[in-house]
């Protein structure tokens, strides 16, 4: 079986489980929206501060929601020894990594669309420069999912994985937060010209490539030791 077919088999499995359990829809998405709403209350929209800091707040909400989605991606492998089943499946471990990361990407992109609408609604921000916002979101999301899946399998076998995963992952994802926020600020004309967004998009793409490559190579040995 080709790598692409194996990859899609894992993605399809994870997305099917998500569609049936509705954890992202029923818990992660409301969590992200509540975070956005809390920021709105905390920073008081009357003073005009919210639109200026909206990109950063959006990505903080995405990051926190991503932690839940990544944790969920590995908790489904905990019950009934499913992780051992995955090890025994004979699937290529690189395909397993790409498949699980792709399922997280799909969920996060859907989440970002809804959270984006939340930002427009709650923070009174007019979306524009889609030619910058879309590649930024895609590159940042791939980076989040790739690094998250790599660190997710690292923490998978540990009893303290729920608390350890954010500790391991948040420092690693700092460049994604920074790059995505700066690119969004430039794209929305909040800080510099739109042309200043591209170096940040390139940084995000580089991050995504590095963590996708690392995950592809390291997922197998880490899964064996988890």
Partner 1 sequence: MSLVVRLRSAVCLLGRFPALAGVDLDVDEGELVLLSGPNGAGKTTLLRLLAGMVPLHSGEAHVLGHDLARDRRAHRRDLALVGHETFCYDDLTVAENLRFAARAAGRAASASDEAMARLGLERLAGVTHGRLSAGQRRRLALAVALARDPRLLLLDEPHAGLDAQGREVLDAVLGSAPADGRTVIVASHELDRARALANREVHVVAGQAHATEAPFAPALVVDAAT
- Residues contributing to the site for partner 1 (CB under 8 A): 1, 6, 9, 13, 16-17, 20-21, 76, 79-82, 84-85, 87-91, 93, 220, 224
Between residues 91 and 176, which has the closer beta carbon with respect to partner 1?
A: 91
Q: Which of 1/110 has CB closer to partner 1?
A: 1
- Contacting residues for 209 by C-beta, under 8 A, at least 6 apart: none
Question: Tokens in use for 42?
Answer: 């905390």
Closest by CA position to 50, among listed 123, 121, 127: 123
Q: Is 6 or 112 the residue whose CB approaches partner 1 more closely?
A: 6
Task: Write down the least CB distance from residue 28 to partner 1, Å.
Answer: 16
Beta carbon of residue 32, minimum distance to partner 1 (angstroms, whole number): 22
The residue (of 39 and 97) whose beta carbon lies closer to partner 1 is: 97
Rg from Cα positions in the chain: 18
CA dist., res. 62 & res. 41, Å (int) = 18
Using a 10 angstrom Cβ sphere, with 0-12 exposed, 13-18 middle and 19 or more buried, the burial of residue 200 is buried
In the chain, DSSP finds a helix count (H) and a strand count (E) of 10, 0
Q: Report in angstroms how near the CB of residue 53 gets to partner 1 at its nearest.
A: 38
Of 72 and 161, the one with the shorter C-beta distance to partner 1 is 72
- Cβ-based burial of 215 (10 A; exposed 0-12, middle 13-18, buried ≥19): buried
CB-wise, 42 or 79, nearer to partner 1?
79
Minimal distance in Å, beta carbon 215 to partner 1? 17
CA separation for the pair 209, 138 (Å, rounded): 12
Q: Tell me how far the alpha carbon of residue 89 is from its chain's centroid.
A: 26
Q: How far is the CB of 83 from partner 1 (least distance, A)?
A: 9
Cβ-contact 150, 210 below 8 angstroms:
no
Instruction: Give min distance, CB of 24 to partner 1, in A.
Output: 13
Total residues found in the chain within this entry = 226
């Amino acid at each position: 079986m080709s790598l692409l077919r194996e990859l899609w088999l894992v993605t399809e499995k994870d997305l099917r489980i998500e569609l049936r359990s509705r954890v992202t829809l029923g818990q992660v998405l409301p969590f992200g929206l509540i975070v956005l709403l809390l920021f709105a209350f905390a920073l008081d929209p009357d003073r005009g501060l919210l639109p200026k800091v909206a990109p950063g707040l959006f990505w903080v909400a995405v990051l926190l929601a991503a932690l839940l989605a990544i944790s969920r991606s590995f908790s489904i492998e905990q019950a009934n020894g499913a992780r051992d089943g995955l090890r025994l499946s004979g699937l290529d471990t690189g395909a397993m990594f790409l498949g699980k990361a792709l399922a997280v990407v799909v969920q996060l992109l859907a989440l970002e669309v809804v959270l984006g609408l939340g930002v427009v609604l709650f923070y009174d921000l007019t979306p524009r420069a889609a030619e910058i916002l879309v590649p930024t979101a895609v590159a940042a999301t791939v980076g989040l999912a790739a690094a998250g899946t790599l660190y997710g399998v690292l923490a998978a076998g540990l009893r303290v994985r729920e608390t350890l995963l954010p500790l391991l992952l948040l420092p690693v994802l700092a460049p994604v937060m920074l790059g995505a926020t700066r690119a969004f600020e430039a794209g929305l004309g909040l800080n510099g010209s739109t042309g200043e967004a591209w170096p940040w998009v390139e940084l995000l793409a580089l991050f995504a490539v590095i963590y996708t490559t690392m995950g592809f190579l390291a997922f197998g040995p880490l899964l064996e030791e988890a």
